[in-house]
Amino acid sequence: MSKRINSKDVAREAGVSAATVSYVLNETKSVTISKETREKVLAAVQKLGYVPNQAAKTLGSSRIVGKSKSNLIGLVIPQTESGKELMFDNPFYGDFLSAVEYAARQEGFHLLVSGVNADQSYIDIAKNRSLDGIIILGMYPSEDNKEYKQIGIPTVLVDCYGTDHFFHSVRTDDRYGGYLATRHLIQHGHKRIAFVSGEVKESGVTDMRFLGYQDALREARIPYDPNLVFTGYVGYQYGIEAAAKIAQGNAGITAAFAAADIIAVGMIKGFRNLGLRVPEDISIIGFDDIYQAEICDPGLTTIRQNIKEKGNAVAKIIVSAAKNSTFPKTEIVIPLEIVERESVRNL
């Protein structure tokens, strides 16, 4: 196996110190390097085929390979539900990440994925990495917004509400999606409709879907009943737990809107464990249209947000912004549609 070239090899080839190599590649402004020395270092880098560590402060290779300083895009997924492995509990994240990663890779960029604890600032991630751009999924309004504007890294917010138009934005109309799901159940004759979701936080995705649920009830003149709202966490196991609570509550519920497909799939399993059938005993509609929605039994009727299209749109924006500092602020709303399968019946 050939030896990996390092900065010391570059220093020897150029006849300078390793520190000088670091100053040149990091474009350290506090140290004056002559044009001749700088050219020696860059020539040695090219001759030896040296590739600096992507995690370093900067590549300095923008002038070597004609690209951005690191070719790294950070994707931050906040852990909004304490103690939950959010990226693994919900297949939505895998589908979304795959779409973003593939589209970014085609443009020569790599994705650095990081979870962030509920009490950790997103700014820490941005400052401690050499990022050309950052994608933040599901960020709630916070004081971080002001600091993000100051650090100047191109940022795309995904499924974020309550923020201003300083950042690029890609989302679905979650409130309208919640309305569509609930209206679909109402149109099939259901009036006692449960809302099942993860934690509902103001100006979050789940909150928007919850508001849409209430909009549809109000439009149909069906009284809102807080006893029909079940909140826990976004995961398959919580769907099983929620099904048990609904079955034991004897509240006359005939249908449920699960704010995420993975919860709905768990509910189908949970009701089956209790000897109840979907849709014969209770109808269920989900939200997302993940792969499991199609292969579960019965197939899940759901609100499709085109996850691949969303990922592609995010990648296109962040790559364009990373390459061009004057790229205009962009907001995209991905269309929604109902996908009818077998989990909803007429009363």
Delimit the domains of the chain by residue range.
7-65, 72-173+307-334, 174-306
Please name every residue paired with 155 in a beta bridge, in sequence order, or none if there are none: 134
The CATH T-level fold of domain 174-306 is Rossmann fold (3.40.50)
85, 236 contact by CB (below 8 A): no
Whether residue 223 has a cis bond before it, omega within 30° of 0 = no
Residue 251 DSSP SS3: coil
Largest Cα span, the chain = 83
Q: How many CB atoms lie within 10 A of CB 67?
A: 17
Q: Rounded to whole angstroms, what are the CA distances from 160 to 56, 96, 173, 335, 347?
A: 30, 15, 11, 16, 36
Could you tell me which residues come within 8 angstroms of residue 38 by beta carbon, excluding any fewer than 6 positions away? Answer: 24
Q: What is the pLDDT of residue 103?
A: 93
Sign of the Cα pseudo-torsion (294, 264, 92, 157, in order):
positive
Calpha distance 300→282 (Å, rounded): 13
Q: What is the pLDDT of residue 281?
A: 96
Number of C-alpha atoms within 13 angstroms, CB side, residue 205?
22
Q: Rounded to whole angstroms, what are the CA distances from 149 to 118, 134, 144, 240?
A: 21, 12, 9, 42
Fold: same for 72-173+307-334 and 174-306: yes
Q: What is the pLDDT of residue 18?
A: 83
Strand-strand pairing, 283-288 and 301-305: parallel
Long-range contacts formed by 149-153: CB under 8 A, 24+ apart: 151/123, 151/126, 151/127, 153/126
Pick from 237, 339, 219: which is nearest to 286 by CA?
A: 339
∠ CA(249), CA(80), CA(175), 5° rounding?
65
Strand-strand pairing, 155-158 and 110-116: unpaired
Residue 94 DSSP SS3: helix
Calpha distance 145→163 (Å, rounded): 8
Q: What is the pLDDT of residue 31?
A: 72
Please name every residue paired with 170 in a beta bridge, in sequence order, or none if there are none: 158, 332
Calpha distance 8→17 (Å, rounded): 8
The CATH T-level fold of domain 7-65 is 434 Repressor (Amino-terminal Domain) (1.10.260)
Of 3.40.50.2300, 3.30.70.580, 3.40.50.1100, 2.30.40.10, which CATH number belongs to 72-173+307-334?
3.40.50.2300
Rounded mean pLDDT for each run of 10 residues along the chain, 347 residues in total: 73 89 77 86 87 50 46 80 60 91 92 71 65 83 62 86 81 97 98 95 91 98 97 94 92 95 97 96 97 96 95 95 89 95 96
